[in-house]
Chain A
């Protein structure tokens, strides 16, 4: 007897469940809501002035626990440093976000995009042209060279934030 009651109660619960809101969504027709701090596809961003943010300091590469970031620093004629190449092997990346944490210029950022599947591993090797986006990403205001003491094209010594004009070493005034 109790067997039948239990079975009917279960069937009833199933019936009630079918009227509840669905947890499964119809991906890809329906898009999931991804929180902004999701650690997905890595991008390189630009500063508010449109310049490349990455200064090729190698800190992301050294922070990477699977060593999947390789780059080479170079400089333009005014002394602004940028990566000559910047490569992330996403077939090794574990999306830990350490690179973003290590980045002193907010250049490298993890985004909410997770749709990166490929049939060939080689297609998961992203070069700079695949990584560099046109905007500042999550940190709209920051421009590293505006606070750093280095002179670059368009910003001379003493023109960074919180800097005095260059010292005149010939000046004898106390």
Chain B
């Protein structure tokens, strides 16, 4: 099996097209409309090559490489003069209307159009005609629009509409006036709009947050990081200039995020430079004094004194702090005194999920596997809000029916337009069970709405319908039973069914979801599970076996005046206000965090922790994968990693040397103590790693301004800061070649300056990164485990209470996550949070859309405007989760709603 490119023999790959094969082989062939995740449409005519019939054919004919299968015996020439001239001509056409504005274009220096123009050799505009112009649109706080630069490759709408399911960006007008925009100015509604920045091969869609502090790609000092805004563990690349993060780019990971990020992950980085960021230690000299900045030594001495004097030191860990920081706290206070800084129900649910991950024979899916599933059931989670990238993966999973239709017609999967036509109106089953309507509902084959107990009953019914030996649900109404049977039928007819559930749904629902997966597993289906967890290190914290927070609060009640070390946590987001007020009033609290919040305001002592751009550590994603994030730039002033503060603190309290000085030491200590965590050492190469005897540079080779950027303060250039925690250097000097996948700091090879250069870092186009994708799976399903169903009665059916509403937590992508909401762009996108009610209930209350209402529950009073949602069950109301201005409630909870005068 072989094909011939310019008379050289290469292996044929009939399931690939010629463009993919050429790029995988490292040949430079220009292209625009093809994208590895979007497939080929053959629109731009840029990847023309010459194809020959056989070895005697001297004439050949021009074909589009992206539309031609790389079949056995194919003979092509990339280098053929006619093909080269054709490609140069196409670029020249595309450039006739391109504006003369590269110097003020944010894409300049990382522009695919620039790269392709240089590659084809086009230099001067011969066309004398006047250029076409367009008016731009305001597209919201995330994406900037400059339509003059468009080359009509259609990638934006193919991503936005066909891939991400958006419907407010479209191709308008005709012929050479084609315009990509919205019907009217306004914010792009899709949760994935930020990907347009990377999908667009030119500067039509650029990062609007980067524009506010614009820096060229070659001037950004980068660090391989992880997204801290949900538990999926998407890989990101943080770019820094002048001591602040400037942008987040997608860092390709074959099994997780692939080519795309959600907008929360891309634009949430603003929290690291928000006014709430802590930059210096804070001390409270007297109980009634305010916090004031202190020197690091002074603060550490005060903390050590606090530790010595305290009646009993307790540590409260955090699901958003690194594994190392949580471990360091646990080591400092002892396992008996280490508590999980998570809500009661969330802690129980996470512990149960962790147990199930270890015990079930059903494996947990990566996002790639979720995308490859051919039927999915989502239980109790609005994934677009709690794990947005999973929502995009589930949307792709519905394409399998279309792909199957294409298979029947012998159409290759990369032929995007043909697959779309062949599979028109055909979608793989995606069943969503949520409390309110979600933005994924349009992709669903069926939706079930109700409070989490009702969803748990539905899930139990599905499990029973799949396997009679699973527990039965009593008193299920007929409509639900039929829905459950239909869902069971859809799942059991799939080859690779997927079950998604999460901590939000509660234990009954988690057990029911596990039973469904078990039933499918017993039927011999390649079943997989996805557990949605609330925060970036929820699973990592659970793996350290902390005690529940309620016990810490109770212990404080009993122990007189305890000392508490709170690690990267706002306790007011974890338990009722009164309980936390009482705890903080009694305890002497030291907080280690990067962000100022209500708990910080009540602390005696605050130590500034590094965040994701200036800190390093390990996170365990909801998939059970340990991944390392490494700082992009040295932290300013006294800011340092939580684990380093805790190491110093422990040493100072006991008067000995710190247990660890570097990340590798604390990671090894953590791995040695927990056998499950043994793998975290291998999540990334250690600080001792050298490539060709050198460190990996964080700065691109053309990093500018080195001798001028600090010259206003200090005329002598300091040596680059040392980084004891990683094999990366804060320098442009170092290994010039490709770094291991976990240490990649940018995507660029000569001739390929844009993000499209990722092709050159993959083993094959769209495949794994060279040297294997980073991260280590810590938990593997035990395929030999007993597949017995989990016992447990289904909850009681939901019954309406007169004059009361069951308040349900309603997750919102841009409101519910603590850190991203501090980013100005995300806060702008968050919009007003509304209380959702069934339209009938609204009528009953005498309220109309947008009216203010007062909600009372759990002793708290809240004011919110209402909004109708027909999907909500009558008698329930959906309350925005995690909103800082609303008090914490243990939801679901019964409460009253009444009308107030606006």
- Which chain A residues have a beta carbon within 8 Å of chain B's beta carbons? 55-59, 61-62, 64, 66-75, 81, 87-89, 91-92, 104-105, 121-122, 125, 127, 144, 147-151, 157-158, 160, 162-167, 169-172, 174
Contact = CB atoms under 8 A, between A and B. Distances in A.
A19 B545 CA distance: 99
A127 B712 CA distance: 9
B101 interface: yes
Nearest first, the 9 A-B pairs at minimum CB distance are A149-B99, A70-B705, A57-B103, A61-B704, A70-B708, A67-B706, A70-B709, A169-B173, A89-B708
15 contacts: A56-B214, A62-B216, A62-B219, A67-B706, A68-B708, A70-B711, A89-B707, A89-B708, A148-B99, A157-B148, A160-B100, A166-B134, A169-B173, A170-B173, A174-B175
B708 A167 contact: no
A169 B177 contact: yes
A164 to B, nearest CB: 5
B479 interface: no
Interface string B69-103: 00000000000000000000000000000011111
Given A59-B103, A67-B708, A147-B100, 13 more contacts: A57-B102, A62-B218, A67-B707, A73-B215, A81-B104, A87-B709, A87-B712, A92-B707, A148-B101, A157-B135, A157-B136, A167-B173, A169-B173
Indicate the member of A68, A73, A122, A149 with the most B CB atoms within 10 Å. A149
Contact of A57 (B108, B130, B136, B211): B108
Given A64-B704, A67-B705, A75-B211, A167 B133 contact: yes
B849 interface: no
Contact of B715 (A55, A64, A122): A122
Interface string B127-158: 00011111110000000001011000000000
B674 interface: no
Contacts of A169: 134, 172-173, 177, 179, 181
Contacts of B308: none
Nearest to A125: B711
A89 B711 contact: yes
B213 interface: yes
A58 B219 contact: yes
B173 A61 contact: no
Interface string B701-721: 011111111011001000000
Interface in B191-245: 211, 213-216, 218-219, 242
Given A163-B130, A167-B173, A70 B715 contact: no
A121 B216 contact: no
B712 to A, nearest CB: 6
A134 B549 CA distance: 66
B728 to A, nearest CB: 20
B99 A150 contact: yes
Given A62-B218, A149-B101, A167 B132 contact: yes
Interface string B326-363: 00000000000000000000000000000000000000
A89 B216 CA distance: 20
Indicate the member of B103, B177, B181, B214 with the most A CB atoms within 10 Å. B103
A75 B148 CA distance: 19
Contact of A164 (B130, B173, B179, B715): B130
A104 B103 contact: yes
Contacts of B104: 55, 57, 81, 148, 150
Contacts of A72: 213, 215, 242
Contacts of B179: 167, 169
Interface in B6-36: none
Given A91-B715, A144-B103, A67 B704 contact: yes
Interface string B735-754: 00000000000000000000
A10 B709 CA distance: 58
Contacts of A144: 103
Interface in B149-182: 149, 172-175, 177, 179, 181
A163 B97 CA distance: 9
A62 B148 contact: no
A167 B175 contact: no
Contacts of B704: 58, 61-62, 64, 67, 69-70
Nearest to B127: A162
Contacts of A64: 704
A57 B218 CA distance: 12
Given A70-B709, A157-B148, A61 B219 contact: yes
A135 B739 CA distance: 48
A64 B703 CA distance: 10
Interface in B494-550: none
A171 B174 CA distance: 9
A174 to B, nearest CB: 7
B708 A165 contact: no
B148 A149 contact: yes
Contacts of B173: 167, 169-171
A150 B206 CA distance: 14
Given A61-B219, A89-B708, A158-B133, A167 B211 contact: no
Contacts of A88: 708
A149 B100 contact: yes
Nearest to A69: B708
Contacts of B711: 68, 70, 87, 89, 91, 125
A105 B708 contact: no
Contact of A149 (B108, B133, B706, B708): B133
A58 B102 contact: no
A90 B132 CA distance: 43
A73 B177 contact: no
Given A148-B100, A148-B104, A73 B134 contact: no
Contacts of B136: 151, 157
B374 to A, nearest CB: 40
B213 A149 contact: no
A150 B146 contact: yes
Contact of A61 (B181, B214, B705): B705
A150 B5 CA distance: 42
A92 B708 contact: yes
B404 to A, nearest CB: 38
A69 B294 CA distance: 36
Nearest to A165: B133
A20 B149 CA distance: 65
A105 B103 CA distance: 8
Contacts of A121: 715
Interface in B819-834: none
Nearest to B128: A162
A174 B133 CA distance: 17
Contacts of A73: 214-215
Indicate the member of B104, B173, B211, B704 with the most A CB atoms within 10 Å. B104
B184 to A, nearest CB: 11
Contacts of B214: 56, 73-74, 81
